[in-house]
Amino acid sequence: MATSIIDIQKVSHSYFRDDIEIPVLKQLTLNIEPASFVALLGPSGSGKTTILNLMAGFDRPMHGRISINQINVSQLSERQLARWRAKAIGFIFQFYNLIPVLTAAENVELPLLLTSLSRAQRAKHVATALRLVGLGDRMTHYPRQLSGGQEQRVAIARAIVMDPAILLADEPTGNLDSEAAEEIMILLQRLNAEQGKTIVLVTHDLEAAQRATTICKLQKGRLV
């Protein structure tokens, strides 16, 4: 049996609203193997985005432990987290979250600015990532000049340009029409199959979840 790339052990987490504790995750345990494509499926409020936030270190679990590639994420400082995140994780958001004043190429280049790569090397990586998502001819376009599906593909290029082992996707098709959503899911499948990326997809859409190799259903903070 392969070692887990993502190891979530008995994680509990709550939010507080006006001093009222709202439990979100309850003793959740989940192991994700390298190069797998896991969909976390569940209704709103089931805790799927919270798991994603905890995996990425945006939040620290109140109880339990989360290890990514043998690293206990909860114990990293903010500075260490930032460095680790830049190398280990790629994010894909529902609303693409591209920087509107930067071109597609510049958006993709952003994570590379944190490395010691030269400008030419960065340009090469950017071109490769954009070609991989089928947007090699849209490098100089601004987000406003792209369709929703194209924007999401630029976001995916940005997520993979650092060649992270893990991609965390939060409702990546939630804001797209069915045709564009289909294209994005095919792209994610390709990244999983051809590039060996471990993908954790958070969705409430069963059709999208079915593209994954494993579906984990969440209900009120527990896996069911």
Binding site for other proteins (CB under 8 A): 53, 56, 58-59, 79, 82-83, 85-87, 91, 93, 97, 99-102, 106, 109-111, 113-114, 158
- Residue 1 CB, nearest approach to other proteins (Å): 31
- Residue 193 CB, nearest approach to other proteins (Å): 25
Query: Which lies closer to other proteins via its Cβ, residue 1 or residue 100?
Result: 100
Alpha-carbon gap, residue 178 to 172, rounded angstroms: 12
- Residue 81 CB, nearest approach to other proteins (Å): 9
- Residue 42 CB, nearest approach to other proteins (Å): 18
Chain mean position to CA 155: 10
Query: Which lies closer to other proteins via its Cβ, residue 80 or residue 214?
Result: 80
Alpha-carbon gap, residue 76 to 59, rounded angstroms: 11
Alpha-carbon gap, residue 130 to 107, rounded angstroms: 11
Query: Which lies closer to other proteins via its Cβ, residue 142 or residue 213?
Result: 142
Q: Are 160 and 129 in contact (CB under 8 A)?
A: yes
CA distances to 46, 72, 150 from 133, rounded to whole Å, are 31, 32, 9
Query: Which lies closer to other proteins via its Cβ, residue 110 or residue 215?
Result: 110
Query: Which lies closer to other proteins via its Cβ, residue 97 or residue 189?
Result: 97
Non-local (6+) Cβ contacts of 58 within 8 A are none
- Residue 60 CB, nearest approach to other proteins (Å): 10
Q: How many CB atoms are closer than 10 A to CB 135?
A: 21
Q: 142: exposed, middle or buried (C-beta count within 10 Å: 0-12, 13-18, 19+)?
A: middle
